[in-house]
Amino acid sequence: MKYLYLIIISVLTLPVAAQEWQFSGQAPTLEEARQWQQQAADNDKDLMLVLGATWCHDSTALLEQFNQTQFREKLKQQYQVQIVDISYFERGYNLVQAYGEPIYYGTPTVMIIDGDSGNIKNFASWQHWTNASRHSAEEFEAYFIGKNFLTMTDEKLSEEHRQKLLAFKQQQAKRIRAGYMWVAPHLKAYKKSAAKQPPQSFIEKWMAVAKFRNQVHADIVAAYKKALAAPSKALELPSYDKKSWES
Query: What pLDDT, in 10s, does the model give residues 54-112?
Result: 999 999 999 999 999 999 999 999 999 999 999 999 999 999 999 999 999 999 999 99
pLDDT at 76: 97
pLDDT at 13: 47
pLDDT at 35 over 50: yes
Greatest distance between any 2 Cα atoms in the chain: 57
How many Å apart are CA 131 and CA 4, to the nearest integer? 13
- Burial (Cβ within 10 Å: 0-12, 13-18, ≥19) of residue 232: exposed
- Predicted TM-score (pTM) of the model is 0.89
Nearest to 162 by CA among 214, 111, 228, 218: 228
* Sequence-separated (6 or more) residues with CB below 8 Å from residue 194: none
pLDDT at 156: 83
Q: ∠130-144-91 over CA atoms, to 5°?
A: 45
pLDDT at 155: 74
pLDDT at 89: 98
pLDDT at 174 over 90: yes
% of the chain at pLDDT higher than 90: 85
pLDDT at 236 over 70: yes
Mean pLDDT for the chain overall: 92
pLDDT at 10 over 80: no
pLDDT, average across residues 178-194: 95
- Give per-residue pLDDT as tens, 108-129: 999 999 999 999 999 999 999 9
pLDDT at 8: 53
pLDDT, average across residues 176-183: 98
What fold does the segment set 14-153 form as a domain?
Answer: Glutaredoxin (3.40.30)
pLDDT at 20: 84
The residue type at 58: D
Residue 2 or residue 103, greater confidence: 103
pLDDT at 16 over 50: no
pLDDT band for position 3 (50/70/90)? very low
